[in-house]
Chain A
Amino acid sequence: MKYLEEFRDGELAQKLAREIRQTATRTWPMMEVCGGQTHSIVRNGIDQLLDGAVEMIHGPGCPVCVTPLELIDKALAIAAQPGIIFCSFGDMLRVPGSSADLFRIKADGADVRVVYSPLDALKIARENPERQVVFFGIGFETTAPANAMAVHQAKLQNIANFSMLVSHVLVPPAIEAILNSPTCRVQAFLAAGHVCSVMGYWQYYPLVEHYKVPIVITGFEPLDLLEGIRRTVHLLEAGTPQVENAYERAVCFEGNQPAQKLLSEVFEVADRAWRGIGVIPRSGWRLSEAYRDFDAELRFDVSGITAQESPLCHSGEVLQGNLKPNQCPSFGTACTPRRPLGATMVSSEGACAAYYNYGRFVALESIH
């Protein structure tokens, strides 16, 4: 058992897809929150496979997409300062700020480095004691334990030249905000499996109780996604909103306790602005009092930076599922993958980018 190939099996995928198509009596609109799931859906052609049975509304589960414009501008301001080594996950490099992105300022001479792990950034800090090393700590709950450990170790080992620019966002408040929107079309959610590996899934019961929508914890490989969708369709058809775990091999109810323990030490809940959506109360994490010395936003005095979203960009509406990308007036004109206005067109799993590529495609039936 290697846990990958088995869950990419073509025949089993066809089977699951068939079962879904045969069970659905109408087209069920559901949202996968996680960008990684969106990527896998588009990458494997799952949405086409289920055409007619489900409508996948791609949610705001890409921290790249929802990191506020202001914070991108702050990141750019910090990275442009002489002597700074700015470390980031690859995802953030092309996200547009108000007038540039990390990629472009790297081309202009800023020392911007892509890292695989926050510990790599810590290592760079250790090896370059005379320079300030800043790590762009974005992510959902999945990435938070890694970012927490980096700051925690920085504190323990007194790596004073290390700091983190934090933009952590939480999934359950996002789901709630979407459900509260008056134009919400989403009738069920696929919860992000790896977020739940960390946090468990006890938080979803109150949501299901209150809003009466099924929430199914779902993995990322094709069979995992299809199974999550399959269980969701069954719950919708039966009219029985529940929490279900369709990713049992990697998720348990309580989640990862050691991770949650360190998270509660290093971070505290805060209000967070979500790009395109606005402030969702208590929907993010910031560094706690004990770790605030490592907060790059404070260390580099970028508090004065504010930003205005382009009025032409409607990514917020798209992220919440209220607008289809091709209904946005800027879609394909003022906003293209080459010249994106917002993150949903930049990110490879952004709804707008996915739509742009698919939309240029003539009738699918002609392929077969």
Chain B
Amino acid sequence: MSTFAPPDLSQWSCPLPLRDYPAIVMGHGGGGKLSSELIEHIFVPAFRNSALEVMGDSSVLPALAGRIAFSTDTYVVRPLFFPGGSIADLAVNGTVNDLAMSGATPLYLSAGFILEEGFPIAQLAAIANSMGAAARAAGVQIVTGDTKVVDKGHGDGCYINTAGIGFLADGIHIGPTRAQPGDVVIVSGTIGDHGMAIMSVREGLEFETILKSDSAALSGMVGSLLEFAPNIHVLRDPTRGGLATSLNEIAAQSNVGILINERSLPVLPDVQSACDLLGMDPVYVANEGKLVAIVDPSVADAVLRVMQQHEHGARAAIIGSVTSQHAGMLAAVTAIGGTRIIPLQIGEQIPRIC
């Protein structure tokens, strides 16, 4: 895990005890001097952009010459820091990716923090700095935000909500109802990386091998894909519930069947081993830096090539197709040539011994 260098508190007007124990207190959410110090010393330097630095009650942004895509998500991951990333990366990339899945160019994010009393300021600074870095990498600006503090014992340290605005060019109509029989299903890389990275550090289920989260912004990849094939039918980032959940939802929403070939699914050997050990199935494990694209067969090979040339798409693969059979359901040809249904799971996948 990263070590946290405490911020330079010599310029802060925090009460004396805070200089010795730099932690969040109730006052930091109160809107007064303590709150503005957090903004001035932590958030503004980390997020650094002109809209934010105006420090108005709302951020005023230039008009967009087209449709607006708007998305929000709240991040409550435990642990906050894990191999390959942190809640900061998820908070930025998650919302950026949601916007990108509509075919939009993500532009602006808001960031709302719910902090637990006693949360170390050094960790908050680390989170803010990582968010700033992730935002810059994704080409977005965090232009407005909020901080609230809850009593110790509530709030798991830090929860973050981000909402995002993106610009949707004319002529783009991507959505989960657009899959059609004959379409090709493509995944942008290895599945299950993020969920198993989290599993690998959770209490009681520790491994000694470093499995890394794949958290990444996919807006660049989507931009390249759309330049090449503006008529992509469906894009989805398979986060909670994994690939299986996303494909089930798309099958239901488009009223089609989806059939995948398990031998084509890209899975890292370490991730597969971890899944084998815990009796889990990679298709249900969360991803934070992957997307599924459902496209017309005429552009499938070319879309695949564009993905593979992108830094986050090296392991992209065609994994299946859309069918008019078994509408609403996801099925798979197994590695041994049998068939199975991949149903929606009830609740989260838990390790099993049986």
**Chain A residues engaging chain B, CB cutoff 8 angstroms:** 4, 8-10, 13-14, 17, 35-36, 39, 42-49, 62-64, 87, 89-91, 93-94, 103, 113-116, 120, 124, 139, 143, 222, 337-338, 347-349, 357-358, 360-362, 364, 366-367
Q: Of residues 219 to 276 in B, which have CB atoms within 8 Å of A's CB atoms?
A: 259, 263, 276
> Which of B279, B336, B351, B354 has a CB less than 8 Å from the CB of A49?
B336
Q: Of residues 327 to 343 in B, which have CB atoms within 8 Å of A's CB atoms?
A: 329, 331, 333-341, 343
In the complex, are the beta carbons of B325 and A13 less than 8 A apart?
no
> Which of A10, A17, A348, A358 has a CB less than 8 Å from the CB of B352?
A348
Tell me, rounded to whole Å, the shortest Cβ–Cβ distance linking B204 to chain A.
4
Q: Report the 7 A-B pairs with minimum CB-CB distance, sorted nearest first.
A: A45-B338, A90-B350, A13-B336, A115-B204, A357-B343, A90-B351, A49-B338
The residues of A that contact B205 with a CB separation of less than 8 Å are 114-116
In the complex, are the beta carbons of B346 and A337 less than 8 A apart?
yes
**B203 located at the interface, meaning its Cβ lies under 8 Å from any Cβ of chain A in the complex:** yes
In the complex, are the beta carbons of A347 and B354 less than 8 A apart?
yes
- Which of A9, A35, A361 has its CB near the most chain B CB atoms (within 10 A)? A361
The residues of B that contact A64 with a CB separation of less than 8 Å are 354
Tell me, rounded to whole Å, the shortest Cβ–Cβ distance linking A303 to chain B.
27
The residues of A that contact B329 with a CB separation of less than 8 Å are 360-361
In the complex, are the beta carbons of B335 and A10 less than 8 A apart?
yes
Tell me, rounded to whole Å, the shortest Cβ–Cβ distance linking B322 to chain A.
13
Once the chains are docked, how many angstroms separate the CA of A361 from the CA of B342?
11
- Which of A48, A116, A362 has its CB near the most chain B CB atoms (within 10 A)? A116
23 sample A-B contacts, Cβ–Cβ < 8 Å, listed by A number: A8-B335, A10-B336, A43-B334, A43-B340, A44-B334, A44-B340, A45-B337, A45-B338, A49-B338, A89-B351, A89-B354, A90-B353, A93-B350, A113-B203, A114-B204, A114-B205, A114-B350, A116-B204, A120-B204, A358-B341, A364-B339, A366-B325, A367-B259
Tell me, rounded to whole Å, the shortest Cβ–Cβ distance linking A230 to chain B.
14
Indicate whether A48 sits within 8 Å of B204 (C-beta atoms), given known contacts A36-B354, A362-B326: no
Once the chains are docked, how many angstroms separate the CA of A187 from the CA of B160?
58
CB closest chain-B residue, reference A356: B343
Indicate whether A48 sits within 8 Å of B338 (C-beta atoms), given known contacts A113-B204, A116-B278, A139-B353: yes
Tell me, rounded to whole Å, the shortest Cβ–Cβ distance linking B38 to chain A.
31
The residues of B that contact A364 with a CB separation of less than 8 Å are 339
> Which of A10, A35, A47, A48 has a CB less than 8 Å from the CB of B354?
A35
Once the chains are docked, how many angstroms separate the CA of A17 from the CA of B259?
22
In the complex, are the beta carbons of A90 and B352 less than 8 A apart?
yes
- Which of B205, B337, B341, B353 has its CB near the most chain A CB atoms (within 10 A)? B353
Indicate whether A45 sits within 8 Å of B204 (C-beta atoms), given known contacts A90-B352, A116-B278, A116-B351: no
In the complex, are the beta carbons of A103 and B347 less than 8 A apart?
yes
Indicate whether A63 sits within 8 Å of B354 (C-beta atoms), given known contacts A114-B204, A115-B204, A120-B204: yes
Tell me, rounded to whole Å, the shortest Cβ–Cβ distance linking B281 to chain A.
8
The residues of A that contact B341 with a CB separation of less than 8 Å are 357-358, 360-361
